[in-house]
Amino acid sequence: MIRSILVVCRGNVCRSPVAAAMLQRRLPHCRVESAGLTALAGQGVVPEALLLAEADGIDVSGHHARQLDARQLAEADLVLVMSEGQRREVSERWPQTMGKVMRLGHWLARGQGLDIPDPYRRSAAFFEQVHRLLTEASDTWAPRL
């Protein structure tokens, strides 16, 4: 049974903290955390993502970005990354995690799966598109967990 989920992106200031909060709301029986492969350690969620999260009733105001490490990966039952490239990178750097690393967008596109692009330093419209993907991906994972 999945009790601990780690959501991973690149900087841990846009996608993963918002997705983690979305999943936590949908899966109150799980512990859901986030981290970044190249985290902007200590920084909060960027304003564009923060506004979209708040509009959905999601509070990520207390988030502080943190670097992904082996301990976090070991403690997680499931690791959800944003792209196939990140899945490969995590699996190569920490081979022991290979069987529990999947894309957050795994169930999107009628089960074909999608990468969720990085909106960092992109337009507000791009952030909105990514936020919709995070919402849809969270909705598709929740009933499976």
- The catalytic site residues sit at 9, 15, 118
What is the distance between the alpha carbons of residues 110 and 107, in angstroms, rounded to a whole number? 7
Whether 118 contacts 19, CB under 8 Å: no
Best CA proximity match to 87, nearest among 71, 73, 75: 73
Percentages of the chain per state (helix, strand, coil), in multiples of 5:
45, 15, 40
Q: What is the largest distance, in Å, between two alpha-carbon atoms of the chain?
A: 39
Other beta carbons within 10 angstroms of residue 39's beta carbon come to 22
- Amino acid at site 115: D
What is the distance between the alpha carbons of residues 40 and 110, in angstroms, rounded to a whole number? 33
